[in-house]
Chains A and B, each alone.
Chain A
Amino acid sequence: MLDITYDGTRNISLSGRFDASQAEKALKVFATVTSSCVVDMQNLDYISSAGLGVLLATFKRLHDAGNTMVLKNMNDCIRRIFQVSSLDRVFAIE
């Protein structure tokens, strides 16, 4: 189960599991993000390629409009997923 909280301005937090079953729900929330944002992944336990796809699609859209997207507080396992998919070179990660 994935919980997404968006404060309507800049801050998004993800917690739980971001897998294929949660991708559609996540996409609906991220579709409402239209400016630079920070995604806090401190309580995110897991992300699948479907979750990466949602983040990447969102980032591409925001980037094309001149906005930024920062991912922060990801755990070591999730960071490894970003590394093997070379998305650690695409996203700003703190």
Chain B
Amino acid sequence: MVFEFIEEFVAVHNIDLGTAFIVKVAIEELFTNLVKYDVIGAADIPISLSVEGGQVIMVMRNIGGGDFDVSAATGVDVEAPLPMRPIGGLGLHIVQSLVDDIRYEYKGQIGTITVTKSMEAKRA
């Protein structure tokens, strides 16, 4: 259901394929992370998407799911040799690498994640 919403947004705003892919990756990875760490199952996670000044802006609110700063350094060593490469922990690293900016604020038991990605090209 989340992805139908993203597909519709991408189509309405004529977003290029590269940017659309990054939007999907960011939403999927952040959402999955929030659900995974919501141990009491209380989180309500509304997502909004908008376009402003050639940028896609994604806002996710983690309501009641605890304080988890997704903008902080992940500590994942992606240059480690194969035996030392961790199996997990890549999601946030990937998002942080692909988007232009990611900000986090925790206030009143609500974590707000704002992700910005400039559109890469005009869609053909």
Interface of A toward B, CB cutoff 8 Å: 19-20, 46, 48-50, 52-53, 56-57, 59-60, 63, 76-77, 80-81, 84-87, 90
A48–B87 touching, CB < 8 Å: no
A85–B94 touching, CB < 8 Å: yes
Question: How many contacts A-B (CB < 8 Å)?
Answer: 55
Q: Does B58 contact A (CB under 8 A)?
A: no
How many residues of B are in contact with the other chain, CB < 8 A?
Answer: 22
Considering the complex, give the chain B residue whose CB is closest to the CB of A52.
B90
Q: Does B88 contact A (CB under 8 A)?
A: yes
Given A48-B25, A77-B17, A84-B97, the answer on whether A63 and B91 have CB atoms closer than 8 Å is: no
B90–A85 touching, CB < 8 Å: yes
| Contact pattern, B 59-85, Cβ under 8 Å of A = 1, otherwise 0 | 000000000000000000011001101
Q: Does B5 contact A (CB under 8 A)?
A: no
A19–B28 touching, CB < 8 Å: yes
Q: Does B32 contact A (CB under 8 A)?
A: yes
A53–B87 touching, CB < 8 Å: yes
**Chain A residues with CB under 8 A of B98:** 80, 84
A86–B78 touching, CB < 8 Å: yes
**Pairs A–B under 8 Å by Cβ, sample size 14:** A48-B28, A48-B29, A48-B32, A49-B89, A49-B91, A56-B85, A60-B85, A60-B87, A77-B17, A80-B21, A84-B93, A85-B90, A85-B94, A90-B85
B24–A46 touching, CB < 8 Å: yes
Q: Does B18 contact A (CB under 8 A)?
A: yes
A19 to B36, CA, bound (A): 14
